[in-house]
């Protein structure tokens, strides 16, 4: 399958797990800015079902939550698929992305040649709530600005 647009931006998260939904909240606010440069989707799906969103594109940017050992809440990290093995928590949506790329290649499914992941640091990935924590909610406008800058830079390079 070939897409007319070579780029895709995918916002991931679980909005019932509070701050884990940050990728969705940020991309929902950026859709209009990104649409001229990429197809844009938000989803709470995970695992192999993400292949449906990525297949046929040349370049992908995925935005999701992460929890690293030395990061601070609201920090925006940039990762490649190879970087994930070292992360203690990288949103359940990212589980298997490197394996998914290998599987797609072996099955002849078109998978993006370049995948960038923007991980937004969160404090508690296991908090059950249908809203962002007050501290991350205050940082949301700045996060939208930072992620917009990263995405446009990545897609125009």
The radius of gyration computed from the CA coordinates of the chain, to the nearest angstrom, equals 15
Position 88 scores a pLDDT of 56
pLDDT one-digit tens code per residue, 115-147: 999 999 999 888 999 999 999 999 999 999 999
pLDDT one-digit tens code per residue, 18-39: 999 999 999 999 999 998 999 9
The structural domains of the chain, ordered by start, are 7-156 (3.40.50.1450)
pLDDT one-digit tens code per residue, 72-110: 999 999 998 877 655 655 554 455 777 888 888 899 999
Position 157 scores a pLDDT of 76
Minimal CA–CA distance to 5: which of 78, 58, 42?
58
């Amino acid at each position: 399958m070939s897409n007319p647009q070579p780029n895709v931006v995918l916002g991931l998260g679980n909005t019932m797990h509070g701050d884990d939904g940050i990728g969705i909240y940020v991309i929902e606010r950026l859709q209009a800015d990104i649409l001229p440069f990429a197809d844009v989707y938000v989803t709470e799906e995970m695992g192999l079902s993400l292949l449906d969103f990525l297949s046929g594109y040349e370049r992908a940017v995925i935005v999701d939550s992460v929890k690293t050992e030395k990061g601070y809440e609201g920090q925006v990290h940039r990762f490649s698929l190879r970087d994930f093995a070292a992360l203690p928590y990288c949103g359940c949506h990212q589980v298997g992305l490197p394996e998914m790329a290998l599987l797609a290649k072996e099955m002849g499914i078109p998978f993006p040649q370049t995948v960038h992941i923007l991980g937004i640091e969160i404090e508690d990935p296991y908090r059950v709530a249908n809203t962002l924590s007050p501290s991350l909610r205050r940082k949301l406008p700045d996060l939208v600005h930072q992620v917009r800058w990263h995405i446009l830079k990545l897609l125009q390079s």
